[in-house]
Amino acid sequence: MMIYALGFAAACFGLALLMNLWRLVKGPEASDRILALDTMVINVIALLILLGIGLGTAVFFEVAMLFALVGFVSTVAYCRFLLRGDIIE
C-alpha cells in the first residue's frame, strides 16, 4: 500500500512543481517569482525525501538538508539584491 502512497505523493509534488513553474513564468512582480522559486525548492526537498523513502537509503536526507540551506541562502540573496542593490554591503 505504501508504494501507491509514494506514487500519489510524487505525482502531487510534481504537479505542484508545474504550478510553481507557471507562477514563475507568469508572475506579475519580482516577489511572485522569488516566492515561486522558494516553493519550488520546498517541493524538490519533498521529492528528494520521497526518493529516499522509495530507495530505502538515508543518503537523501543530507541532500535535502543541502537543498534547504542553498534554497534559503539564494532566496535571501535575491531579495537582498532587490532591496538594497547589493548582496553584501
Partner 1 sequence: MNHDLPLWADLAVSLFLVLGAVFGLVGSWGLIRLPDPMTRLHAPTKATTLGIGGVLISSMLLTFARDGVVSTHELLITLFLVLTSPITALFIGKVHLHLRQDRSALPRPATGAGWAGYTAEGPARGVRESARPSVPPAGEAPRTSD
Q: Which residues bind partner 1 (CB under 8 A)?
A: 1-6, 8-13, 15-17, 19-20, 22-23, 28-32, 34-36, 38-39, 42-43, 45-46, 49-50, 52-54, 56, 58, 61-62, 64-65, 68-69, 72, 75-76, 79-80, 82-86, 89
CB of 41 to partner 1, least distance (A): 10
DSSP track, 63-81: HHHHHHHHHHHHHHHHHHH
In sequence order, the 6+-apart residues with CB closer than 8 A to the CB of 64 are 45, 48, 49, 52
Instruction: From 14, 1, 86, select the one nearest 50 (Cα to Cα).
Output: 14
CB of 4 to partner 1, least distance (A): 7
